[in-house]
Structure 1
Amino acid sequence: MTAPAPSAALLAPWRIGVDVGGTFTDMVLRDAAGAVRIFKSPSVPADPSEGVLGVLRLAAQQLDITLTALLRDCALFVHGSTVATNTILEKKGATVGMLTTEGFRDSLEIRRGIRENQWDHRSPFPQVLVPRYLRLPVRGRIGADGAELAPVHVEDVDAAAKIFAEEGVESVAVCLFNSFLDGAHERAVGGQLAKSWNGKWVSLSSEVMPTMGEYERGSTAVVNAYVAPKVSSYLRALDEQLRQFGLPRSLLLLQSNGGAVSVDQVAARPVMLVLSGPAAGVGALKGCAAPGEKANLISMEIGGTSCDVMVMAKGDVPVTDELTIDGYHLTTPSVEIHTVGAGGGTIAWVDDAGLLHAGPQGAGARPGPAAYGLGGENPTVTDAQLVLGRLRPGPLAGGAVTLDADLARKAIETKLAKPLGLSVEEAAAGVIRLLEQNLLHAVERLSIERGHNPATFTLVAAGGAGPMHGVAVARALGSRRALLPRAAGAFCAMGMLQSDVRQDYLQVFLADLDKVESAALDAGFTQIEARAREALAGDGFGPNEVVIERLLDLRYDGQQWPVRVTLAASGFDAAAARHAFETEHQRLFGHIQPGGRIDITALRVVGRGRLDWTPPAARSPQTDAPKPRETRKVWIDPVTGWRDVPIYDGADLRPGCRLNGPLLVEERTTTAFVGPNDRLEVDERDDFLVHVGASAS
């Protein structure tokens, strides 16, 4: 990632990425020459748009231009929004009604009966988002072959509309049986609702996600209906505000699949935004790899509230349809991310039995860690780092907040050290060790448990807090390299500017892989490819700027969950598809069925609109040994204890620089900690690459 260059003049036009996090709203501006500026300001959870406008005003002020000028010369504005996720977590969505096929009224509440922990039979499922009295039946039936068995009764829709009006329903989800094969009945119901109900938010499951599986499709449609009024209104209002301030074209939103999409195209399917911010890690990881490199990378993006883990294997980040948010099942294309409550603002506490815990609760943007001086009294990971000398007292994140070491020490002493009978330093060290153990387990979840050997991967430690913990977690994993991006504090905002526009489409297609006719397969793909090309053309992409991928969902006969494989661009080859399926099946599950029947369950098309990317100008290499800014006492680990450690200014370290740890590197939006026996190198992309244990060998 390119180093921030705050002093150079801007070269228009530029691109802007804004990521709203739980603690900070991050903004990255990249101009036409590839130079990068990074800005951070506190988030405003009550109104995320204020956080967006706040960081834009801060950027305009620091760049000494008007907000209008900043937006007027912006050629691309990409936004990662947490509004959809927060609406679900905070239970602040719309009052939803639901129309189902007669006899299937309770499918939403029956669910699948699958529990994450098979030994836990007591924890209740979350309360359904549509109570039974608002789940109403409609007569009519589509058969298993897609043919109409009984016509839809529109009078049932009129009767339901009357109840919805009386009960104050704001949004309606429609999920009729077998509508993934033919959505004609759902479209008829939607048309009748438009006549008999005065609401405007209707989500048809066959349009939101036409997947096989009535519960999954219905649950996704319900969540879409639940978040649509708030999310779509927020996005359109923000887009209108930005346009009024001078933005020449509508903003783009980062989807859960890691690609961007326009406001108009996502407004009807806001459920696609539930992982909007973290999914930008896909674009950020691409920026960490050399052009064309099939890199093996594991990202650990640690912000103020949480840690998001993502794996890139051989240049690809897995995309899944199975997603659960706060216990609600969603079927929507999403990059595979594992999130845990572990960040700089994670609260440390002692339970009644005298055991130390770190998280999952966080201090948020306000009051934040005790060291912020904003009224917070609970000790956090940031407070512990400050007590151990790893963070410098004073301005943090470009001056967005100020760290007070005395307040941090007081919080740890009062809430942790005294109850545990430890010194303040011992208690702070315990917090760090416990958090890093939680981070280790989170990374293992998506690496070892998915059949990957982390020793063959580079751990990318990003987020404002990531470079403080990355080397220690890499060492525990057995990884030999840890990459600490120079722009780690705005990792996702940077990734938004490196993400293509993306459209995902699915069509159920049931056939035997070895017996399917290539012509039928091609006809199915061609049909949904046309939709992808049309959508991308609407976003302004010409034929030469569009890349289309064909994928198949495959499974063994009788197997429940499919495995997704990408087809070669040269055309369909059943033997090659079988080989790709068996290779992935072996990695995921440790076995295959030699010669077993493989069924096709769905066709998928991924359409990408390629955004041109100007490479940054290379920084001149290091010609002399950099001098540390200062030396201060830092707690290293239980074996080493306290030690005088050199502190380097990140701006003084250029490509080719090599330094042996222990050391600290202070950057504008993050601080990197390198332990003893490790060697830091500034690589050709101007990031900090740590060779774990290299200086001891």
Structure 2
Amino acid sequence: MLVAPYRVGVDIGGTFTDLVMVDSRGAVRAFKAPSVPSDPTEGVLSAVRLAADSLGVDVQSFLSKTELFVHGSTIATNTLLEKKGAKVGLLVTEGFRDSLEIRRSIRENVWDHRRPFPEVLVPRYLRLPVTERIEQDGTVRIPFNPDSVAAAARVFAGEGVEAVAICFLHSYANPAHERAAKAELKKHLPDIWVTASSDIAPTIGEYERTSTTVVNAYVSRRVVPYLESLAWRLTALGLPRKLLMIQSNGGAISIDEIGHAPASLVLSGPAAGVGSLKFFGQDTGSDHLISIEVGGTSCDVTLMQQGMVSMTDQIVVDGYHLNIPAVDIHTVGAGGGTIASVDRAGLLAAGPEGAGSTPGPACYGRGGERPTVTDAQLVLGRLKPGPYAGGVITLSLERAVEAIETHVAKPLGLSVTDAAAGIIQLVEQNILHAVERASLEKGYNPRMFTLVAAGGAGPLHGPSTARLFGSSSLYVPRLAGVFCAFGMCNSDLRHDYVRSWLKDLDNQADSGPDRLEGTFEEMQAEANEVLAREGFTGSKAHLKRAYDLRYFGQQWTVAVESSSTNAASIRAAFEEVYQRLFGYVQPSGAIEIVNLRLAAIGKLDALEVAKVPGYVRAPVAHSRRPVWINTEVGFVDTPVYDGTLLSPRQQLIGPAIIEEATTTLIIGVADKLTMTDAGNYHIDIAHGQVA
């Protein structure tokens, strides 16, 4: 029996909307409802109704006893990917009308010179110049002319523009002209949504700042109304506290504070995995973790070192650059719904296209005809035919076989089994490359980390991935299938602030430690005001300082966390990070401070891992079935266990299949499974085998 009050986390994925409910004693229940892409609110409310039904109460009673409702959504990302955003106008400094389209003239892949750049979100006739100019030190070179904004407003009105982005040269140093333009625009177009770069991304880098501001305006008209509608409906149904959203930085934020910066939600769902990593780290006994969260459409890889997850402010979504603080997540198209195909050269490909929830994999029987990773797992016996997720879907082996045979096996001249095995092996290579990008390319040895396999499909790929990069330790949470939704229940509130600095670390004649400290204190005063408004003061309010640093002459910066304003201490911290990333330092090299950063964190009471009562007994398989293990041994008659009947400290040796409510685990040949005291799965990987 669960005891109120409750914490609720809801994560909208491509196939399912996940809801996790945690009661006042730490007991957890998880629910899955089909996502509704046309109206994501319906998927959320369907999951809420499932939770209320499990308690034997109505929705109003359930929500009235919910003290924390945290939501993660891909709506901002999908708006960008599907090109369904607002019609955007852009105001720029006169003479810089084409900066957005010129970009940095850098290709992500220098060898792929034929691929076109993504479509510019603001066509040239809506990128309009404003007479003004500010220098990089903040001084005014050309005064602001309001008449040029009025002229632009007339064009925007005539063209039906729905949102306007403002990005003037060097506004990070002095936002006065952007603020004046915003006020002038509101006089002429009072109902239009306006965002200024100095509010959303006050950092050096004209193109990235412009791109971020444009994306923020582009997604606003779809994201903000959705959030307001969902918040209103939940409040009307009895939710006593305001809805919280998970941001790309892994922290939550109230619905009132997110309205001006909807672009900060582009990694909303995956970033919540940080909360789960912090929680399950207590059970693994390690603070060095790499998670692979494999859902319906993608695999998200996150690295936690010494209990800290690395952050970035340079993220790219479908070719569009955003300068916003975000958890450093590496994503590849390797989910359960990833579509497999054979290209014109006769090569097997997997992704990046996915089947989504509608029509979904062929085995779902919802109209999908193309083979996916889920179809391959079903053909190989790793999944069983029949109902899943409480009967929400039913897997058809016949449809899976037909799809793989038609689209992969026959074109390649392979058996259905070999074709399915090839799909799995290719996808796991893609997952491996994502793990290497998150670890090796950042100067970390992945073998020193425990791999955490999460997401509905992650535990089916965990043993093979761990074996491929040489890890001897794999951890699978019992809540793997709702990993991000659970993380939302364990996420602190977070706000990020940035000030551009652009000064020599060692030779700050007019801005030494005292000026640095004074600037940080100004940022802290603003941050504390926001935290206090949300109810976080004293020990509940935590502030972290950081710097963006680089050697003079370099283009890119390195983020360094440090509470000091002493040049020697900052240099030491910078050189430690730089050495790990690049393998060398310049002992006497001049270092430039580019940005000052402050993270303001409102601390919620962290969930604690509790031991699950039980006694050690011999695990008993409820059935057996042929399961494809690897290319060497093929199919093996494999015992299948009900995960809910396994208790702490039980052990078994693979191969084995374990079926959980939200996921399925495969244990490789000779791998050793031990149930942890909290009822999760720890697997010692036996190297020399592949599974």
TM-score tier by shorter-chain length is over 0.9
1:111-148 C-alpha deviation (Å, 9 max, x unpaired): 11111112233222112111111111111222221122
Give the match for residue 6 of structure 1.
none
**1:526 matched to 2:521:** yes
- For residues 154 and 423 of structure 2, the distance between their equivalents in structure 1, rounded to whole angstroms, comes to 57
Shift of 1:543: 2.3
Q: 2:359 aligns with which of 352, 367, 371?
A: 367
What residue identity is the alignment partner of 1:149?
R
Spell out the pairing of 1:261-300 with structure 2 (5 A cutoff). 261-290=253-282, 295-300=287-292
Q: Is 1:692 the equivalent of 2:685?
A: yes
Counterpart Cα distance in 2 of 1:279 and 1:379: 29
AA in 2 matched with 1:529: Q
Aligned to 1:587: 580
Native 8 Å contact 2:610 2:678 kept in 1: no
Is residue 622 of structure 2 the alignment partner of residue 626 of structure 1? no
Q: CA deviation at 1:695?
A: 11
Structure 1 counterpart of 2:516, one-letter code: L
Separation (CA, whole Å) in 1 of partners of 2:129 and 2:284: 53
CA distance in 2, matches of 1:110, 1:413: 45
SS in 2 for 1:290: helix
Match for residue 240 of structure 2 among 240, 248, 252: 248
Partner residue in 1 for 2:105: 113
> For residues 53 and 667 of structure 1, what CA distance do their matches in structure 2 show?
24
CA, structure 1 residues 561+233, in 2 after alignment: closer, same or farther (shift >3 Å)?
same
Candidates 553, 563, 568, aligned match of 2:548 = 553
Does structure 2 retain, via aligned residues, the 8 Å contact 1:138–1:156? yes
1:194 aligns with 186
Q: Deviations over 1:489-526 (max 9, x none)?
A: 00000111111100000001132223442211110100
What whole-Å deviation, never above 9, does each CA across 1:379-418 have from its counterpart, x for those lacking one? 2111111111111221212332111222222222233223
Q: Indicate whether 1:452 and 2:444 are aligned.
A: yes
Post-superposition Cα deviations, 1:259-301, rounded to whole Å, max 9, x if no partner, equal 0001111111101011111111111111121289771111111
Once the two structures are superposed, what CA deviation does each residue of 1:523-575 show, in whole Å capped at 9, x if it has no partner?
A: 0100011111111112111222001001111111111111111114xx43322
Q: 2:248 is paired with a residue of what secondary structure?
A: coil
Q: Does 1:136 align with 2:131?
A: no
- Mapped pair 1:653 → 2:646: yes
What is the count of residue pairs matched by the alignment?
686
Q: What is the Cα-based RMSD across aligned positions, in Å?
A: 1.6
Provide the C-alpha distance between the structure 1 equivalents of 2:388 and 2:432, rounded to a whole number of angstroms. 26
- Within 5 Å, which residues of 2 pair with 1:323-342? 323-342=315-334
Cα distance in 2 for partners of 1:293, 1:216 equals: 40
Please say if residues 511 and 601 of structure 1, whose CA atoms lie closer than 8 Å, have aligned partners that are also in contact.
Answer: yes
The CA distance in 1 between the partners of 2:75 and 2:323, in whole Å, is 19
Is 1:473 matched up with 2:468?
A: no
Q: 1:565 to 1:58 in 2, by over 3 A?
A: same
- Aligned residue for 2:587, secondary structure, equals coil
Distance 2:21 2:523 in 1: 35
Tell me the amino acid that sits aligned with residue 496 of structure 1.
M
How much has 1:330 moved relative to structure 2? 0.8
**AA paired with 1:523?**
G
Q: Distance in 2 between matches of 1:400 and 1:693?
A: 36
1:219 pairs with 211, 214, 218, which one?
Answer: 211
CA 1:626–1:447 in structure 2 vs 1: closer, same or farther (change >3 Å)?
same
SS in 1 for 2:529: helix
> Secondary structure of 2:313's partner?
strand
Q: Say which SS state the counterpart of residue 494 (structure 2) adopts.
A: strand
Please tell me whether the aligned partners of residues 96 and 170 of structure 1 are also in contact (alpha carbons under 8 angstroms).
yes
1:195-252 per-residue CA deviation (whole Å, 9 max, x = no partner) reads 1124330001001110011211111111111111111111011100110111111111
Name the aligned partner's letter for residue 100 of structure 2.
L
CA shift in 2, pair 1:617/1:39, >3 Å:
same
8 Å CA contact 2:476, 2:680 repeated in 1: yes
1:77-123: CA deviations, max 9, x gaps?
A: 10001111111111111111111111111111111111111223322
2:41 matched to which residue of 1?
Answer: 49
- The answer to whether the 8 Å contact 1:307/1:341 transfers is yes
Partner of 1:4: none
Say yes or no: does 1:316 pair with 2:308: yes
Any idea what SS the aligned residue of 2:598 has?
Answer: strand
Q: Among 105, 120, 139, which residue is 1:147 paired with?
A: 139
Instruction: Say whether the 8 Å CA contact 2:94–2:132 is kept in structure 1.
Output: yes
Can you give the 5+ residue segments of structure 1 that lack an aligned partner in the other structure? Answer: 1-8
Structure 1 equivalent of residue 417 of structure 2: 425
254-263 vs 59-68, which deviates more?
A: 59-68
Kept in 1: contact 2:286–2:450 (CA 8 A): no
1:486 aligns with 2:478: yes
1:169 pairs with 2:161: yes
Q: CA deviation at 1:50?
A: 1.3
Q: TM-score, normalised by structure 1?
A: 0.96
Any conservation in 2 of the 1:397–1:670 contact (CA below 8 Å)? no
CA distance in 2, matches of 1:386, 1:358: 16
What runs of 5+ residues in structure 2 fail to find an aligned partner? none
Given residue 630 of structure 2, which amino acid in structure 1 is its aligned partner?
D
Could you tell me how far 1:687 is from its partner in structure 2? 1.5
1:5 aligned residue: none
Q: Which residue of 1 aligns with 2:293?
A: 301
In structure 2, the residue corresponding to 1:360 is in which secondary structure? Answer: strand
Contact 2:467 2:687 in 1 (8 A): no
Partner of residue 567, structure 1: 562
Q: Partner of 1:553: helix, strand, or coil?
A: strand
Shift of 1:616: 5.0
